[in-house]
Structure 1
Amino acid sequence: MKTENNKYAKAEMLIRKPVSEVFQAFINPEITRKFWFTKGSGKLEENQKTEWTWEMYGFSLSVTTLVLQENKKIVIEWGNPDETTLVEWTFTPLNENETFVSITNSGFHGDSDKIIDQVRNSTEGFTLVLAGAKAYLEHQLQLNLVLDRFPKGLA
């Protein structure tokens, strides 16, 4: 049996756009708000805090950017102050018009049930984010996937 840390969530997607466009979509809130959160206090910058807001849920959080490598990698720390996790995006250009994006969320805390719940929710959430980014960047479609994940009356 292989022993490795399996306490992480992962979502990946091919986006048929140049790596520079895809990278900008995740650091520039004017683009990101088209498929993920509704407001960002500014572009992601290394060693800086940024506020992200999901107005439809009345929820905001602080994000600290730990690594920002242009067109290659973003690493942030986010979450409740006593339970932060790391999120890492890697951007792999496959050619001049295709980018493979991988998002890994790690560092979950709690008992096994809590960790399983966090991994499942994070995997679902980042899969929707990538699908929304793909639809927006490739076809200028705003699918409202994050908004519709928890419709009013069911949340």
Structure 2
Amino acid sequence: MHGEHTYEVTATWTGDLGSGTSGYRDYARAVTLEIEGKPAIHASADRPFRGDPAKWNPEDLLLAALAECHLLSYLHACVSEGVVVTRYSDTAVATMRLDGRGGGAFTEAVLRPRVVVAEPAMVDAAMRAHAQANAWCFIANSVAFPVRHEAEVTAE
């Protein structure tokens, strides 16, 4: 598949508590993310940045995008290699370092896919498919920090 794809999201701040941004503590970090035809996501900043810890934040969403992109790319790679995946879960972790000047950046993400395949003979190819999935993952190819994989594959 070649070409260019465009994505559009509307981010609306919903955290005006009555006086706008009159002070750092005078507004909520509430945001509604919307894409036509999809459920809205009610998001916020992370708790250390005065956000609502019950809502998704940008850091959560970035890590979720990496994990989901790898999962979908991996399933495609497995189909290409004749590997039948019957279960897949990932407990991904990312590290962000603040720079002390109000900014910061992610320094690394570690994906920890736990995969179950249909046959023991598929385990080696299933492990190799993670490298192909990483090469195909649009999100991993778009970030400026390493995305490592600590994969585990077992057979039913």
**TM-score of the two chains, using structure 2 as the length reference:** 0.31
Who wins on radius of gyration, i.e. which is larger?
A: 2
**TM-score of the two chains, using structure 1 as the length reference:** 0.31
Bigger relative CO (Cα 8 Å, ≥ 6 apart): 1
